[in-house]
A and B are shown apart, each in its own frame.
Chain A
Amino acid sequence: MSKKKEDLSVDAFEYAAPQNLQDAVALLAEASGEARPLAGGTDLIAQMKENRRSPSLVVDVKKIPELNVLSYEAGLRIGAAVSCTQIAEFEPVRVHYPALAEACALIGSYQIQNRAALGGNFCNAAPSADAVPPAIAYGAALVIAGPNGQREIPAEDFFVGPGQTVLEKGEVLVEIVLPSPPPHSGAAYLRFIPREEMDIAVAGVGSFVQLSPDARTCGQARIVLAAVAPTPVRAKEAEAFLTGRALDETTLAQAGELASQAASPISDVRGSAAYRIELVKVLTRRTLGMALERARG
């Protein structure tokens, strides 16, 4: 039957598919070489084929119950191995976290969304990761398990640089936790790509707005920029500027200008630095407008 050349371009590795978190942590902690958790594999396997990553141990985390949690009670819990499709189709996500549902439905094709996991979108740590800005904008925290037990960190503190996270040897991302959206709040995510589908963001912005109790001014805002810095970044000056202000067209445009100051983009094949700065201004204004509309219900 086999006519194929045995040209396995991927470097040899051991594969394990532990059934529980303790075993996964032990395998990752005790690995002698590089070890990588495997969720959907849509980034990792492509990188291994291109020899951009060559782990000697791959730990498939898809059989671990904690990483498959998807529930909405006092907030939203998403196991790190839950696929973009599962998230985008989960009714509470569509109702309470529409910006996250929309971002999950932007990542690649249906084929990709059916495999790609939100935890993978975080751990791959691409500055352009589409699902990360809305998660941070909604105030996400990450639960991380390791040899010394579990810890929880704000999602925005997870990233160190392109492809690099704070995960220590033996640590695995367990779940992404989003607080219940407060009353009179809304969020939106938009990215710019030069085509309709199947592309990597030239720039992306996720915005969250909570109105003051009288609904006349902005009580709190979070603005998260993608693909314009080595990691996803908060535009904190723009957020502070918005707090306490009435949200009219001029204010949103000013917030866009301020947000662009938090960007430190590179020029590459997808766009120049100057173009990305302009995109941040426009996408910030538009996502704030959409978030505001959702906050007003």
Chain B
Amino acid sequence: MRQAIELNVNGEPHDALVDSRETLLDTLRYKLGHMGPKEGCGNGNCGACTVVLNGAVVNACLVFAVEAAGADVTTVEGVAAEGNLHPVQQAFIEHGALQCGFCTPGFIMSAKALLERNPNPSEPEIRLAISGNLCRCTGYDKIVRAIQAASQALSQTA
């Protein structure tokens, strides 16, 4: 079955004709051209597909596109403001918190969401917040350091 849906992605309204079987992730990537969110496991373990759906981080691979009718979605493409990287993105670059980069969009979304609800997280809080994001390259340490640096950068600009 196909259904026409409207959704806002990174502040822009879109129309899409989606199959009921299609995930939000597939719609974002292959119908709307947002290739930031990735499909790793496809079953909610790896977090490479993490996006913000109506204000909450979710695995876009575990949401049917039809469920997202009328929703507001933010992908990693919508994180930088007016061409300036978000402090989390900047910190990932400065701390070398990525190697292959496949998981990075998901980590950015989880880290940004964490710092929005908890601007000064402890290391255990950071590790808990990224427990739904798998990285097979870095061993996580540089990711944790980058999030700590982003937390400091944000508190200095606030």
Contact = CB atoms under 8 A, between A and B. Distances in A.
B113 interface: yes
A53 interface: no
A165 interface: no
B22 to A, nearest CB: 7
Interface residues of B, number: 38
Interface stretch (B62-70, B94-102, B141-149): B62-70
A18 interface: no
A4 B20 contact: no
Interface size class of A (residues with CB under 8 A): 20 to 34
Contacts, number: 97
Contacts of B32: 1
Contacts of A62: 67
DSSP class of A's interface residues: helix, strand, loop or mixed? loop
Given A58-B20, A109-B47, A41 B62 contact: yes
Given A14-B1, A60-B67, A110-B113, A2 B30 contact: yes
B33 interface: yes
Interface string A3-26: 110001011111101000000000
B132 interface: yes
A115 B56 CA distance: 9
B62 A12 contact: no
B3 interface: yes
A62 B64 CA distance: 13
B62 A197 contact: no
Contact of A109 (B1, B67, B132): B132
A46 interface: yes
Contacts of A11: 21
A110 B132 contact: yes
Interface in B1-54: 1, 3, 19-23, 26, 29-33, 42-45, 47, 50, 53
Most chain A C-beta atoms within 10 Å of own C-beta, residue among B45, B69, B127: B45
A3 B30 contact: yes
Given A13-B1, A14-B20, A15-B20, A1 B31 contact: yes
B132 A4 contact: no
A42 B20 CA distance: 16
Contacts of A2: 30-31
Interface string B105-144: 0000010010000000000000111011100000000000
Interface of A: 1-4, 8, 10-15, 17, 38, 41-42, 45-46, 49-50, 58, 60, 62, 85, 108-112, 114-115, 196-198
15 contacts: A12-B1, A13-B20, A13-B21, A14-B1, A15-B66, A17-B66, A41-B62, A45-B63, A60-B66, A109-B44, A110-B110, A111-B58, A111-B110, A112-B44, A198-B45
